[in-house]
Structures are given as structure tokens and as C-alpha cells.
Amino acid sequence: MKRLIYLMLLPFLFQGTLMAQNEGNIPTKYRDWYFAINDNLDSFRLVTKKFEDGTQKGGYMKVYYEKDSIVLFHAEYEVASGKTSDDYYFKDGKLFFVYSIITPSMGPMYDPTMPGLSPEENRYYFSEGKMTIWLDTRRARVDSTTEEYTIRADEVLYELSRLKSLLVGE
């Protein structure tokens, strides 16, 4: 019986090891910058804005500034297929990390009784304007030589540009 229990738990034991290996190569400076921003949110100037951009319900953004430089750009909006929440982190005016959560909906947005599906979380790391690491929803590193990686890098930067234009627009 004990052997059966050990065999059942074996895959879960390696899951943590794989996650650690995938996340283990992230430079510690990214984590330091991330925590420095989140630990000091109250010290930054905050600008909030609701926006409509053709999505069914629109959304809102919170932008945190240190002096005139953005340190955190948070956008949350709903579309017919669910809800998106993106956090863009900056150090010295340069994007270094994006944390994105997409929570799909099984039903129409107007039916709050419909359960959502499991959220999809992605983590994107940037250096000098280029995506250097993508950790998918399993926190597995996506191969940077694939077309999917290149397309996603362009999509992430495009979405940031689009959201920034909504901030300054209107």
C-alpha cells in the first residue's frame, strides 16, 4: 500500500524540481527589481484611468510613476472570451518583466453564474527591448528559437504600446 502511495506521489515530487530548474536561471536582479517596486507602491505617484477600446466592457489601468518614469503599468480588461490582467514592470524606463493572466470564461460575460476556466499565466522577461525568457503557464521555459516565441514577443510589446496609447489618448 505504501509503495502505491509513493508511486502516485512521484510525479508531483518532480514537478517542483522542474519548476525550479525552469525558473532557476532567471537573473536575481529581476526578482530584486520586482520586489522593490511591489514593496514600495505607496511611494509612487498613481494614475488610474478607465478605457473603452472596442471590447465589450472596456477596462481600467493603473500606472505607477517614480518621478516621470513608469515603474508599473497594470491593465485589466474584459473581452467576450474572458478577462485579461497584465502587469508591465520597468527599471530606469526600460521594460524588464511582464506578468500576464488570462482567465477564460465558459459563458457570456453577462452571465455571472457561469464558472471560469483555469487561468493562463505567462511570465515574460525583457532586456534592452527584447524578450529574453518566456515562462508559460506551467512555468516551463519556451524555446526562444520557435516562431511561437517570436510572435508572442511581438504581441506583448504591441499590447503595451496599444495600452500606453489609450493612457495618453482621449
Span 97-124, pLDDT tens digits: 999 998 887 655 555 566 557 889 999 9
| Average pLDDT estimate for 71-77 | 95
Cα separation, 25 vs 93, whole angstroms: 24
119 Cβ neighbours under 8 A, 6+ residues apart:
101, 102, 103, 104, 137
> Quick one: DSSP state of residue 139?
S
Please check whether residue 91 is in contact with residue 117, taking contact to mean a CB–CB distance below 8 angstroms.
no
pLDDT at 146 exceeding the cut of 80:
yes
Higher per-residue pLDDT: 5 or 58: 58
- pLDDT computed for residue 52 by the predictor: 78
Render 43-92 in DSSP notation, one character per residue: GSEEEEEEE-SSSSS-EEEEEEEETTEEEEEEEEEEETTEEEEEEEEEET
Taking the C-alpha atoms of residue 153 and residue 70, their distance in angstroms, rounded to an integer, is 20
pLDDT grade, residue 10 (50/70/90)?
very low
pTM here is 0.79
Who wins on pLDDT, 18 or 160?
160
CB atoms within 10 A of CB 17: 10
Dihedral sign of CA atoms 138, 96, 57, 64 in order: positive
- Please give the single-letter amino acid code of residue 54: G
Report the distance separating Cα 59 and Cα 50, nearest Å.
Answer: 6
User: Domain ranges in the chain?
Assistant: 26-168
